[in-house]
């Protein structure tokens, strides 16, 4: 059974700092996703990582995938308050997404 672990589950940081969220998964998969969710809202697709070594960047967020290590990272550079949200990673397993528990990110001015 595929398991997806995210850490940390909660992160409070100051604006301007850098940090990384980690996503580990237990069995082979070649598709990994990062989503953002604001309180009470839907899930917004951030990144789709489809191959080993994939790296994607959008603004202050960068995601990477290492399928051999079964690890993806979401790196936040020079955080700003607007990035406060819960971030989920999800791994594709035979047409279903298996989700991490989410990382609640609070960025203080």
Residue 96, CA distances (Å) to 57, 73, 90 in order: 25, 21, 9
**Residue number, 83 or 90, with CB nearest to another protein:** 90
Q: What's the closest the beta carbon of residue 14 comes to another protein, in angstroms? A: 28
**Residue number, 14 or 94, with CB nearest to another protein:** 94
**Residue number, 79 or 88, with CB nearest to another protein:** 88
Q: What's the closest the beta carbon of residue 98 comes to another protein, in angstroms? A: 7
Q: What's the closest the beta carbon of residue 78 comes to another protein, in angstroms? A: 27
Q: What's the closest the beta carbon of residue 70 comes to another protein, in angstroms? A: 19
Q: Using CB under 8 A, list all residues that contact another protein.
A: 31, 33, 35, 41-45, 48, 50, 88, 90, 92, 94-99, 101-102
Q: What are phi and psi of 84, to 5 degrees?
A: -60, 125
**Residue number, 50 or 69, with CB nearest to another protein:** 50
């Amino acid at each position: 059974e595929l398991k997806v672990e995210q850490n940390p589950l909660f992160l409070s940081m100051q604006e301007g700092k850098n940090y990384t969220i980690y996503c580990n998964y237990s069995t082979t998969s070649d598709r990994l996703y990062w989503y953002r969710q604001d309180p009470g809202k839907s899930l917004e697709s951030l990144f789709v990582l489809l191959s080993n070594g994939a790296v994607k960047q959008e603004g202050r967020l960068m995601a990477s995938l290492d399928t051999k290590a079964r690890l993806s990272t979401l790196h936040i550079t020079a955080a700003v308050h607007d990035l406060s949200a819960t971030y989920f990673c999800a791994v594709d397993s035979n047409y279903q997404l298996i989700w991490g528990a989410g990382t609640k990110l609070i960025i203080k001015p």
